[in-house]
Amino acid sequence: MFILFFGGVFLSSCNEEARGFALPAGDIEEGKKIYKTLDCNTCHSIAGIEWKGGTDSLKVHLGGVVTRKKTYRELVTSIINPSHKIAQGYKRQGTTHEGLSKMVNYNEIMTVQELIDLVSFLQSEYEIVSPATDYYPYY
Ligand code: HEC
């Protein structure tokens, strides 16, 4: 009984933070416009939108074929808290000496609606997409 209880607490705590997090459906076309307006393409390349190239010549590819779903939880995190998890392959080039992401912080200028639309656009650019928008307990 004791072990079951604490085992349960441990397992549930793994996903505790993400539970109950659900975005409304966004507008892909709007998201694409916002991607350009916010100049994401200074550092990112994505199919159909030209990479502008910034001072650091960072070129982090977004979209394309992925082996695992990009959930909107991951994408939202990548945008509003980029240093939380650094994209695979960009630990050296994409981070500062302190190991923080070189990505611009948009949190003061981006509206929540823009974030929702942007995430919908990005999701549509990955070949394996559409996470369940309802509650899905097993990850
Ligand atoms: C100044 C450069 C820069 C700009 C501008 C920028 N990013 Fe990034 N972004 C990065 C770097 C570097 C990484 C890789 C390191 C990391 O994971 O944070 C990254 C990572 C990401 C990732 C995670 C990719 C993955 O495969 O895990 C997403 C999603 C992303 N950016 C979206 C955006 C969006 C959307 C915008 C525009 C609103 C934007 N970025 C603007 C530099 C930038």
User: How do residues 17-30 score in pLDDT, each as one tens digit?
Assistant: 778 889 999 999 99
Asked whether residue 133 is assigned to any structural domain, the reply reads: no
Asked whether residue 119 is assigned to any structural domain, the reply reads: yes
Asked whether residue 31 is assigned to any structural domain, the reply reads: yes
Asked whether residue 20 is assigned to any structural domain, the reply reads: no
Q: What is the pLDDT of residue 104?
A: 92
Mutate to test the pocket of ligand 1, among 32, 85, 101, 103 (most ligand atoms within 8 A of CB): 103
What's the per-residue H, E or C state across the chain? CHHHHHHHHHHHHHCCCCCCCCCCCCCHHHHHHHHHHCCHHHCEEECCECCCCCCCCCCEECCECCCCCCCHHHHHHHHHCHHHCCCCCCCCCCECCCCCECCCCCCCCCCHHHHHHHHHHHHHCECCCCCCCCCCCCC
Q: Please state the atom number of ligand 1 nearest to the C-alpha of residue 101.
A: 18
Q: Please state the atom number of ligand 1 nearest to the C-alpha of residue 110.
A: 38
Q: Is the pLDDT of residue 49 over 60?
A: yes
Q: What is the pLDDT of residue 56?
A: 77
Q: What is the pLDDT of residue 1?
A: 52
Asked whether residue 17 is assigned to any structural domain, the reply reads: no
Query: How many domains in the chain?
Result: 1
Angle between helices 112-124 and 28-37 (to 10 degrees): 110
pTM for the model stands at 0.83
Mutate to test the pocket of ligand 1, among 52, 58, 78 (most ligand atoms within 8 A of CB): 78
**Residue 120 belongs to a domain with what CATH number?**
1.10.760.10
Decide: 103 in ligand 1 pocket, CB within 6 A. Answer: yes
Asked whether residue 115 is assigned to any structural domain, the reply reads: yes
Decide: 115 in ligand 1 pocket, CB within 6 A. Answer: no
pLDDT tens track for 64-118: 988 777 889 999 999 999 999 999 889 888 999 999 999 999 999 999 999 999 9
Q: Which domain holds residue 56?
A: 27-124
Range name among 8-17, 46-55, 63-72, 93-102 with the lowest pLDDT average? 8-17
Asked whether residue 11 is assigned to any structural domain, the reply reads: no
Asked whether residue 70 is assigned to any structural domain, the reply reads: yes
Closest CA to ligand 1's atom 38:
40
Q: Is 103 exposed, middle or buried (0-12, 13-18, 19+ CB in 10 A)?
A: buried
Are 93 and 2 within 8 A, CB to CB? Answer: no
